[in-house]
Amino acid sequence: MTSPSGPHTTLPASAAPLAAAWGPHASQPSLLRLLAGAAERISIPAAGSKAWPAAGLNLPGPALGQALEERGTPWPQPLVSRYARYFRDGNRTAYEGLVAARQQRLTRAVVMALASDPGRQGAYGSDAEAWLDEVIDGAFLLCEQSSWSWAAHDDVFRRTGCVVPDLATPYLDLGAGEVAAQLAWLDHVLGRQLDDRAPGLRRRIRGEVTQRVIRPFLDRLDWHWLGLDGDVHNWNPWIHSNLIAAALFLVDDPATQAQAVARCIEGLDRFLASIPADGAIDEGFAYWWNGAGRALEGLALLEQATGGVLDGGLPVVRELVAFPHRMHIGGAWFLNVADGPARAAAALPWDMLHRWAVRLGDPEAAAHAAAMATGAPDPAAGLGRVLHALLELPEPASTANPALPPLVAATYLPSVQIMVARETGGTADGLLLAAKGGHNGEHHNHRDVGSAVVAVDGVPLLVDAGQPTYTAQTFGPDRYGIRAMQSNWHSVPSPFGLEQGTGREFAAGVLSAPTQERPQLELALGAAYGFEPRAWIRTAELHRAPGRITIADRWDLPAPATGGTADVDITFLTAGTLSLGPEGTATVRPDGIPAVGAAARTPRGAALRWDPAAVVVLVDEWLLDDPLLVDVWGPRLTRLRFRTPAATAPCPVFRAAGAFTLTVEATP
């Protein structure tokens, strides 16, 4: 594909926070001067620095053991038959898993090479040269790999009907950006040793990165992730931050380097301009790390590379830094929306968030990051993040004075209509209520307008299923054939058996916003189903003093224009073990939900109450077979449905009106 004709589109200055803050310093002519000697100003030093000899000891024990076991063995081979599976049967993981295994092995080898200086020969059962050879082999295999793009993103099949990568037209996606950044960081820290041990390898790396990443980035303006059409999502900062590393460390021509960095700044500016004033990310906590978090990493690199001239401490950045702790439920649990799991991944760069929080003077965000940091970087995080974590983790808290997350009492983010409120601020004990409005045109959208999540003692029990394993269906026309994406399997109403619609127009309206003193969110949900907005009103409220949550629905619905049944259901999705009790009661206990870490106390369950005369109760068990969902929730989720009596008048003249309240308390 060729780039479209016409000038390069830029944001107006009023909507471009970086352009407004940095002015001419961000232009290509200024960057030519500012980037001279940039590599020496980066906080991660090259091998030989005194900072590195003990670095390998900071890898988690399993990663150290794996590095020792795999050195000298055959490398993972991402074969074309695995690549072709995406186009044949929709399977992504068969190929992407091998790609990840290869890159994680290379990351481990780089760390071991850094840790195995001549003064520490034998520290890991081998010498520095052996680890360098491991790095050299892994880097060369990446250079030989026909495609750096993930098959799910590559346009080769759409353009040509082929299931073999097209060497002449490389596709610049998340995978390609990750490889380029890994090679860039590898070159930055081990470049001199590579020249001594494998002359010519660094030239090959530079050639491949230029051909596959830098030139496609500079020569084409039709990459969807640039955001030139106004749709800016997490690909934008993820790729741009990786391209900044590639340009700084692997582009030797100053003019090309400055051009690439200037283009990256424009791209990051479009992302930051899309962030609402409250710093909310509609893709949720999980995607924050590979969206907003990537932007913060790119800004930090730019600041260091230019000696502080390009200062990233902007108001929008301050709000972004606060988002993760505002979504915290307790322990490793976070409010998940869209394609996000409810439990935090192990390989998150909390050190990066901690540095930004300290630098911006946000004590709550800093305390949260320090409490979550494990001190053991996971190679799955990527080489750049691992290198930073090895040298820049927060100081470990003492046993007598552990770092504690802030667990704020209440948060409301109006841009995404999300409320998170807990019974007692500063502790995960007790009840937590999260309620969401929003619309069904959000990035990575699930049909979840009006959904509610309830946790007891830091463990979610009324839940959002979250992200299943990605396949071709996930981002195709049949996306909402996947159960986890459907409104019928979220904790939302189902008027006349209808699914919510897809698009921005299928939205909630806020009738009453919460306050710190009264965490109550009242939403008009009718439009999410194609009705007049006030046809369905939901009020979710946490009553702190009695320790109770109420989720109250009232509706006055005309017959649907098309489809539907006579039934009006209200659904709640539960994790753990659901047990129906005496009429009008049930309990949900965390039995079966995989435990994460050592809990301060055994979490209690949730006691549910409702008016039994108003509804018929239906229970549907969802036996999980998707590994991502099983890992978070265990073997099952259970759908609890409350069905109001069917309308008696014949279609299409019937109406349905009614009210229902679910009350939730912690079990004794």
- Closest by CA to 614, choosing from 662, 544, 543, is 662
Per-residue pLDDT tens over the stretch 353-408: 999 999 999 999 999 999 998 777 789 999 999 999 988 777 665 555 678 999 99
Residue 519 has pLDDT above 50, yes or no: yes
For the four alpha carbons of 187, 192, 197 and 202, in that order, the dihedral sign comes to positive
Cα–Cα distance, 351 to 395 (Å, whole number): 10
Most confident of 123-127, 128-132, 562-566: 128-132
Three-state DSSP at 73 gives coil
Cβ 326 vs Cβ 413: under 8 Å? yes
Helix (H) / strand (E) containing 411: strand 410-413
Looking at residue 117, what is its pLDDT? 63
Looking at residue 53, what is its pLDDT? 67
Confidence of residue 1 (pLDDT cuts 50, 70, 90): very low
Largest CA distance in the chain: 87
Cα–Cα distance, 585 to 563 (Å, whole number): 33
Looking at residue 64, what is its pLDDT? 85
CATH 2.70.98.70 domain residues, the chain: 417-666
> Omega into 590 within 30° of 0, i.e. cis?
no
Helix (H) / strand (E) containing 536: strand 536-543
Two tokens at 578? 């659901």
Two tokens at 264? 């990256």
Single-letter code of the amino acid located at 374: T
- Closest by CA to 390, choosing from 346, 362, 353, 352, is 352
Two tokens at 188? 């930055």
Looking at residue 346, what is its pLDDT? 86
What phi, psi does 124 have (nearest 5°)?
-120, 25
Cα–Cα distance, 407 to 273 (Å, whole number): 29
Q: Which of 107-116, 168-177, 239-248 has the lowest mean pLDDT?
A: 107-116
Cα–Cα distance, 394 to 357 (Å, whole number): 11
Residue 322 has pLDDT above 60, yes or no: yes
* Eight-class DSSP state of 466: -
Cβ 337 vs Cβ 415: under 8 Å? no
Looking at residue 599, what is its pLDDT? 58
Looking at residue 650, what is its pLDDT? 46
Cα–Cα distance, 295 to 374 (Å, whole number): 22
Provide the Cα torsion 530, 531, 534, 536; round to 10°: -80
Q: Once rounded to an integer, what is the mean pLDDT over residues 478-494?
A: 97
417-666, which class in CATH? mainly beta
Task: Report the share of the chain in percent with pLDDT over 70.
Answer: 92
Cα–Cα distance, 342 to 464 (Å, whole number): 8
